[in-house]
Amino acid sequence: MPQGILYDSTLCIGCRSCEAACAERWGLPYNETIAAEERISAHKLTAIETHGDRYSRRLCMHCVEPACASVCPVGALQKTALGPVVYDPEKCFGCRYCVQACAFQVPSYEWNQRSPRMRKCDMCYERQSRGEPTACAAACPTGATKCGERNALIEEARKRMDDKPGDYFHKIYGLEEAGGTSVFYLSAVPFEQIGLRTNVPHEALPALTWRALELVPDVVSTGSVLLGGIWWITNRRAEVAKAEGKRK
């Protein structure tokens, strides 16, 4: 069953335990300076953002149909059955199309490395494969970040909104964005007020490319017949003209 993460901004106290746990899980440095950076980057794969007295959290959304995996020309990014979108740095040749294509601006690149990688959250694929929760969810003291089965999390989110209708802006961010993600947000205010991109199309993005790419076999088959035919006609015409010219 596909897994997911539910982040409830109304429960988040901005303690940044998730950031520290994530850094530890990846073996990345974590100190006060890095904690103050409110932006995901190649050395900080999740970040807590402050928006007035509210918090928000950024991490990979693990789309159901991820744009990054669809555009990667070498298949370095894969959507797993378990839910996480995982990355193989050995395949990656550094075109950064994933960084360009992501509607949530999640993938980061190691710009200053001589042997660079793309970096992003992998929803603790290894841990989840062993049945353990993600590092961030395990570290969260308030339950603001919760991991579990994707469908169960959607139910849970709906229940929270129904139980306390006054506390929530009545929508789940991630349900429709980019055709659906595996990370969901609940918030007390409209999502753009906690820094989320609300202009993301509500359809799976890979379809936009595929509509053009699926025509390739048609272009090749029709085109080769057409061009071959035109060549045959024009060439024949030239031959005939030549032969007639000789006769005269």
The residue (of 58 and 160) whose beta carbon lies closer to other proteins is 58
Question: Angle at the Cα of 210 (from 75 to 71), degrees rounded to 5?
Answer: 30
The residue (of 67 and 136) whose beta carbon lies closer to other proteins is 67
Sole residue written with tokens 């080769």? 224
Do 84 and 52 form a contact (C-beta atoms < 8 A)? no
* 212 lies in the binding site for other proteins (CB under 8 A): yes
3-state class of 247 per DSSP?
Answer: helix
* Ranges within 22-41 binding other proteins (CB under 8 A): 41
* 195 lies in the binding site for other proteins (CB under 8 A): no
Sole residue written with tokens 């950031």? 19
* 87 lies in the binding site for other proteins (CB under 8 A): no
**Dist CA 184 CA 204 (whole Å):** 16
Q: Which of 12, 47, 72, 123 binds other proteins (CB under 8 A)?
A: 72
Mark the segment that binds other proteins (CB under 8 A) among 14-22, 23-31, 183-191, 217-225: 217-225
* Ranges within 114-133 binding other proteins (CB under 8 A): 114-117
Number of Cβ within a 10 Å radius of residue 247: 5
Q: Which of 29, 192, 231, 240 binds other proteins (CB under 8 A)?
A: 231
Q: In Å, how far are 149, 162, 228 from 170, measured between CA atoms?
A: 21, 9, 60
In terms of Cβ atoms closer than 10 Å to its own Cβ (0-12, 13-18, 19+), residue 59 is buried
Question: Angle at the Cα of 52 (from 47 to 54), degrees rounded to 5?
Answer: 60
* 201 lies in the binding site for other proteins (CB under 8 A): yes
Smallest separation, CB 205 to other proteins (Å): 5
Mark the segment that binds other proteins (CB under 8 A) among 12-20, 103-111, 134-142, 164-172: 103-111
Binding positions for other proteins, rule: CB under 8 A: 41-42, 67, 70-76, 91-97, 99-101, 103, 105, 107-117, 197, 199-201, 205-206, 208-213, 216, 219-220, 223-224, 227-228, 230-231, 234-235, 237-238
